Structure 1
Amino acid sequence: MRLTISALALATAFAATGASAQDASQWTGFYAGFATNIISPEFDNSTAMIPLQEGTGFGAYGGYNYAIGDNFVVGAEVGISGPVSFQTALGNPDFEFDNVVNARVRGGYAIGNALVYGSVGYQMVNYSAAAGISTDGSADGLVYGIGVEMLLTDSVSVRLDYTSTHMNPEAGTLPGVPGDAQIDANAVGLGVALRF
């Protein structure tokens, strides 16, 4: 994930060097897009579970942005993705996020055709796996992140997005995991959106 932070910083610097005097109003409006996400989960406060490898999923997102002044942008967004499978270090059995749903508010600063933003919100996952790892269950909790989005044209944008989630699993669905354990998940997403 250290590489992701470096990539976000590099993208921001690149956008700033090519920035022209543009208004944040170019970001105002509805948008919808598709994304691919690399998710890295782990069971916090637990030594009973076998470490999980990263998994890749696909999803969709949409929202609305509103410009405040010349450079500030605020908005709200919902997204859904899945399923995403995570192999254990032994290769089997798998742990799976059947679906991931989140709702976030975003706030950002427009630099030319780029928008550097932070986000915070709520995320819920439904999960399942082979016997001995879990039964079907769900978890929810806080999600927050940072990202860089760039307008390629007036109606098309691309973005690189990093989020971190700390979710409380449903009691009794993760054998061997303490009741106060969390499912932590870091994700890197690459998305393309159409703006309306």
Structure 2
Amino acid sequence: MSSALLSNLPRFDQGDQTHPAEQLKRMLGQMQEAAARTKPAPEPTGESVEEEVQSPEPVDLGPSLAEIESLAGQLSAVLGRIENEARDQAMQVTQALAARLFPELSQRFLAAEIAQHLPQLIPASVPSIEIRARQEVLNRLEPFIAHDPSLSERCKMTPAATADEPRVQVSWQTGGVTFDFEGLLAACLSHLDPSHTMIEE
């Protein structure tokens, strides 16, 4: 075999038998890869900066001053209406309670109230006193009169002409006094009426 033919065959007695052209190509490829890795990133142009710096979105500042004033006016009107309704309801409840409880309270305390004021109202020189009222009122009044020496010997109990007589009439020769608790109730209820109070003011 000739030496020219053998020179083209690969040799196994040397470490790297790569063809020089292949080695050159490999080195050029490695250099290009290294250059690509170390190449700095291009600086952003003016257009890209403008794209990044976007204009801020409009901020919702809520309702305008005119809308706030309108809402405040509506709120004031609603509060005024609620206040008037609450006042009317409280007045109605108070009137209902007074109309219901006043008769019961008068039955319990009417006799004691009359007996407490009679000694100051009737002159000591009056010899005889007549008390005219419903029988149930007389029954409550009698124990108080009996326990008062200034009244027990002078008072005469007389039932009223009608069973529904609301007043207690006390009379003597020179004068008299009437306890009208229904009139007092009507006066109290009228003072609870705001229209009545405004007229008086």
The interval holding the TM-score normalised by the smaller chain is under 0.3
**Which one has more relative contact order, counting CA pairs under 8 Å at least 6 apart?**
1
Structure with higher Rg: it is: 2
More strand by share: 1
Whichever structure has more helix as a proportion of its residues is: 2
